[in-house]
Homo-oligomer: A and B are copies of this chain.
Amino acid sequence: MDKPDFWDWYNDIIDKTRLKDKRYPLKGMGVWGRYGWKIMANIDRLIRDEMDRAGHDEMCFPLLIPETEFARESEHIKGFQDEVFWVTHAGRRRLDVRSLLRPTSETAMYPIFSLWIRSHADLPLKVYQIAPAFRYETKQTRPFIREREIHFFEAHTCHETYEDAERQIEEDLRILKRIMKKLCIPYLTSKRPEWDKFAGAFYSIGIDTLMPTGEALQLGSIHQYKQNFSKPYEIKIERPDGGHDYVYQTTYGMSERLLGAIIGLHGDDLKLLLPPDIAPIQVVIIPIYSKDTMQKVLEECTAVKETLLDESFRVYLDKRDIRPGRKYYDWELKGIPLRIEIGPKDLKEKVVTFVRIDTGKRTKIKREYIANHAKLILEDISSDLLDTAEEKLKKGVIKARSVEEAKEINSIVTLPWCGKESCGKEMEDRTGKEVLGILDDKMRGNCPICGSESENPVYMAKAI
């Protein structure tokens, strides 16, 4: 699609498919319609599966956090104090201690962690929750991408040593890879620069993707806290000698932005395209009949539906009394990845027609291979979606040789960097882009500001 029109298209496709209704009378707070909520629930399910398998426990902490708890880690409060919603009254009474709505749950969880953790036998503690978070965003809000009520996933872990916490981050990265594969989202990870790390973190890893506008979209982050929170919140374990050690902590956060990325990366001019793993309907069956053949065709469609249900596909048979073309349009718009058409001729030949929505490719499949083939085609669609998007991301990360060149490129650029904050910030000023993060690999060259030899290259981009 044309890049200048991207946000018009984005807003329009969300309206047409009713993913979220943006007309709620509070800015940045939308209504999740039935379709959007189903997709999000499927994304949540993938996340839950991966987290549970890795030994995390799902819990649910309160939404309200008393100011007294919030204020215990000073960097954290500085980072969030301008964007938290405050509850000050209940009924007609002013509250003695005002509370904030969680912008993230460190300050709700850690006073309790300090009660739960007594000895190394209580470690590691690996907890996650999926619950709304609230941030008073002052930039332009956009559905899924910048909301004031955010559908939020956050994992929090406590470990005995720094190395254990580092290993947790490695595990988080592997979990990320598995989730993103199923969501067909390519991504970059990089260490955020000091001036842009999470409020209170020792270091932060940003997870970014490239949107069709040429802007980077942050999809999540992973943080090493070291003992920055465990000290003020007194999360500690006893040592045999009677002393105590503070635990090492990590967090891992993602949000409904995943859905925003899926819409942006896989949709085209006319429609959504949902990765098969999260499509509420993976296969839609469209009967094609005349008055005479209607009954037989519908019977066959029902039989095919049952075959697919038996194999655990999410399948829908569209029996509406409207023309097939209209049905194609409806389901393509909604991004259902695979369509099966069944007409009277197919009955005789004992075949059905598979239509891949991503490519439009039609294939006749024999009746007895339907389930097998549906599995293969959905897998192909999934890997093709990811491959295509990965190719675009690869092409979209461009090596720049100067700040002037970097400024002109409407995409993610890499630039050498000496490692000094002053140079990094000047690079931001002069390119009109933000430093997303620092790459692990070496890149020969010189800092475009001071000319010193580059320590590490950085990713830079306009960020949404």
A interface residues, Cβ below 8 angstroms from B: 21, 23-26, 29-34, 37-38, 41, 57-64, 66, 68-69, 81-93, 99, 101, 108, 111-112, 115-116, 127, 132, 134, 136, 149, 151
Contacts and interface: CB of A to CB of B under 8 A. Distances in A.
3 interchain residue pairs of minimum CB distance: A90-B136, A34-B57, A32-B60
A270 B314 CA distance: 44
A89 B92 contact: no
B82 A92 contact: yes
Contacts of A89: 85-86, 88
B64 A29 contact: yes
17 contacts: A21-B115, A23-B112, A24-B108, A25-B68, A26-B64, A34-B57, A34-B58, A34-B127, A60-B151, A62-B149, A63-B101, A63-B149, A64-B85, A81-B91, A83-B91, A86-B90, A88-B88
A134 B91 CA distance: 11
A83 B89 CA distance: 10
A59 B82 contact: no
A87 B90 contact: no
Nearest to A84: B91
A188 B30 CA distance: 38
- Per assembly, the copies of the chain total 2
A89 B89 CA distance: 11
Contact of A58 (B37, B57, B82): B37
A83 B90 contact: yes
A127 B134 CA distance: 24
Contacts of A59: 31-34, 37
Nearest to A131: B132
A83 B84 CA distance: 22
A82 B21 CA distance: 30
Given A91-B81, A136-B90, A99 B26 contact: yes
Contacts of A57: 34
Given A86-B90, A90-B136, A62 B29 contact: yes
Contacts of A132: 63
A86 B87 contact: yes
Contact of A62 (B24, B60, B93, B108): B24
A62 B64 CA distance: 16
A35 to B, nearest CB: 9
Contacts of A85: 64, 87, 89-90
A92 B101 contact: no
Nearest to A115: B23
A62 B31 contact: yes
A112 B34 contact: no
A36 to B, nearest CB: 9
Given A88-B86, A91-B81, A66 B25 contact: yes
B24 A112 contact: yes
A41 B149 CA distance: 22
Most B CB contacts (10 A, CB to CB) among A84, A86, A116 go to A86
Given A85-B89, A88-B86, A149-B63, A69 B112 contact: no
A390 B144 CA distance: 47
Given A31-B112, A63-B132, A82-B91, 13 more contacts: A21-B116, A25-B68, A25-B69, A29-B63, A34-B127, A37-B59, A37-B60, A62-B149, A82-B92, A86-B87, A86-B88, A88-B88, A90-B136
A61 B31 contact: yes
A60 B31 contact: yes
A57 B280 CA distance: 13
Contacts of A23: 112, 115
A160 B60 CA distance: 39
A63 B58 CA distance: 22
A134 B83 CA distance: 21
Most B CB contacts (10 A, CB to CB) among A29, A41, A81 go to A29
